[in-house]
Amino acid sequence: MRFRKFALATALGAAVASGPLAVAPASAETVLKAVMHSDVKIIDPIWTTAYISRNVGYMIYDTLFALDAKNDVKPQMVDKVDVSADKLTYTMTLRDGLLWHDGQPVTAEDCIASLKRWSAKDSLGQKVFTGFVSEISSPDAKTIVIKLKEPTGLLLFALGKPSSNVPFMMPKRIAETDPGKQISEFIGSGPFVLKRDEWKPGDKIVFAKFDKYKPRSEPASAFAGGKVVNVDRVEWLAIADAQQAVNALSAGEIDYMEQPPHDLLPLIKGDANLKIVPVSATGQFTIRVNSLVAPFNNLKIKQALWYALNQEDFLKATVGNAEYYKVCKSYFPCATPLSTTAGMDGLLAGNSKKSQELLKEAGYDGTPIVLMASTDLPILTNLGPVAKQLMERGGFKVDMQSMDWQTLVARRTKKDPPEAGGWSAFLTAWVTADVMNPVSTGYLNSACEKALFGWPCDTQMEKLRDDFARESDPAKQKAIAEAVQARNMEITAEIPVGEYLSPVAMRKNVKGFLIAPAPVLWNVEIAK
């Protein structure tokens, strides 16, 4: 089933198995060693939007549908889907041979439980399952029936959502874990098994080939098609120092580096044994503010940020090479169907005087902005200091608190006041696949307590997102997206601060790497 690129908008363990079913033979020797952008501490795929958790998810879990390299929605765990003439009933049949890593067969009830848990937390899932789904049932072990209240082109795209939070499938007994509590068993039906006994946070996380995984017959294409595993083990090594990681890549101690810093790319290009591979997704830097607590519970104070910040400063400090960055004053990424600069004149250009004027009008009393700044991800490291400098020029008092990314990810879920261990703002990055449209964009969720950390609360924004989900006409969708952008400038759920490209690096004997908005390591082989 094809969803046009614009219509991506409507339509873009404790008990991990250790028996003979789960892993490759002990004699297996083919190992892919990688350095990812972050250490792994959280694996629950709905607990955080952090990409490292998403990346782990793609190793061990599978999805009902998936996006291919053309952004078409394709069946993955599903064999076939039938849609009723009135577009209100979707009947999905699971394909044969699906097994969990503990050897149990995958059932429709497992998948329904997984969807319910995912949709309780994910922005797109909430909108589709709360607003459109009237009933979901399993008449037999291989059949899922979803009935809608009214038609939406977003259902299948939601089931194949490519990035955070991905609707990964897990056994019912695990999926029934309260969405507000992290799961403790990490059992999927994907191409790799998490070796829980070898996972050492701060050192490495290990995955073994799942010998009983049955790939689809189609060629691999981004997240879709046959997930054929050509190595016996994958080891993600935690090497925090980027220069050390590049040295290890050059020496052949690792095979793959997910996110080499831009200033080290010339060094990699100069090594005859290494190659740089582009990824298919543009990154978008963004600042998220906490709408629950002072001072960003004041709309005018939040609006001052739009004037204080300067995209060019962030991009030069973080990326440096203009070949890999772009000033983009659009909430929806430039070069995507919904991009628009409407209403952006004069914003994000470092107008400190205007920022100071708005703060004075708002009665800003100098309440410190607790700005969380990540220190261990090269792509994010310089964002915090730049934000601090620009905000202080604009009249804000800033208390920048530095921490590693995983600490930041944990802390941003806290609703405590900033002075009691909470926070006011932080900077992060999205890939294009996450911010293509008003419904899938997580930080636009303004459903108060159901929103992501930052917790914006705005009925008008939610109505616009509902309107977008119901609309199928591209021109009308574009108009709604412009209204969404305008409303975001009023309520400031988040602010985009520039776009960038971040290629991956690997040794030249690594073959078959798939171009996708997230790193996927099936199909990869190491040539001798």
pLDDT (tens digit per residue) in 328-361: 999 999 988 999 999 999 999 999 999 999 999 9
For residue 295, is the peptide bond before it cis, meaning its omega torsion is within 30 degrees of 0?
A: yes
- For residue 280, the model assigns a pLDDT of 66
Identity of the amino acid at 338: L
425 pairs with which residues across the strands?
A: 289, 371
What is the C-alpha separation between 33 and 253, in angstroms, rounded?
8
φ, ψ of residue 27 in degrees (nearest 5)? -80, -10
- For residue 392, the model assigns a pLDDT of 98
What is the C-alpha separation between 342 and 104, in angstroms, rounded?
53
Residue with tokens 């319910």: 116
3-state secondary structure of 307: helix
- For residue 9, the model assigns a pLDDT of 36
403 pairs with which residues across the strands?
A: 374
3-state secondary structure of 118: helix
Identity of the amino acid at 8: L
**C-alpha separations of 386 from 284, 313, 373, 396 in Å:** 16, 7, 10, 13
pTM of the complete model: 0.84
Residue with tokens 């580096």: 257
- For residue 282, the model assigns a pLDDT of 87
Read out DSSP for 400-465? Answer: EEEE-HHHHHHHTT--S-GGGT--SEEEEEEEGGGSSSTTT-GGG--BGGGSSTT--B-HHHHHHH
Angle (deg, nearest 10), helices 459-470 and 474-491: 170
Using CA atoms in the order 125, 129, 135, 136, what is the torsion angle rounded to 10 degrees?
Answer: 0
- For residue 287, the model assigns a pLDDT of 98
**Are the CB atoms for 129 and 86 separated by under 8 Å?**
no
Encode 306-345: b = buried (16+ Cβ within 10 Å), e = exposed: bbbbbbebbbbebbeeeebbbbbbbbbbbebbbbbeeebe
Measure CA 268 to chain center. Answer: 27
What is the C-alpha separation between 303 and 296, in angstroms, rounded?
9
What is the C-alpha separation between 385 and 387, in angstroms, rounded?
5
Contacts of 133 (CB under 8 A, 6+ apart): 146, 147, 148, 149, 155
Domains of the chain with bracketed CATH: 6-238+504-526 (3.40.190.10), 283-500 (3.10.105.10)
**pLDDT < 70 regions, the chain:** 1-28, 280
Contacts of 97 (CB under 8 A, 6+ apart): 214
**C-alpha separations of 252 from 198, 246, 384 in Å:** 22, 10, 33
**H or E stretch at 94:** strand 89-94
Using CA atoms in the order 467, 470, 473, 477, what is the torsion angle rounded to 10 degrees?
Answer: 30
Closest by CA to 226, choosing from 118, 49, 338, 97, is 97
What is the C-alpha separation between 424 and 437, in angstroms, rounded?
26
- For residue 1, the model assigns a pLDDT of 44
- Residue 105: count other Cβ atoms within 10 Å of its Cβ: 14
**Are the CB atoms for 475 and 466 separated by under 8 Å?**
no
What is the C-alpha separation between 148 and 299, in angstroms, rounded?
36
Contacts of 128 (CB under 8 A, 6+ apart): 119, 152, 154, 155, 158, 439, 469
Read out DSSP for 36-88? Answer: -SS------TTT---HHHHHHHHHH---SEEE-TTS-EEESSEEEEEE-TTS-
What is the C-alpha separation between 113 and 179, in angstroms, rounded?
11
HSE-CB for 237 with a 13 A CA cutoff: 18
φ, ψ of residue 269 in degrees (nearest 5)? -60, -30
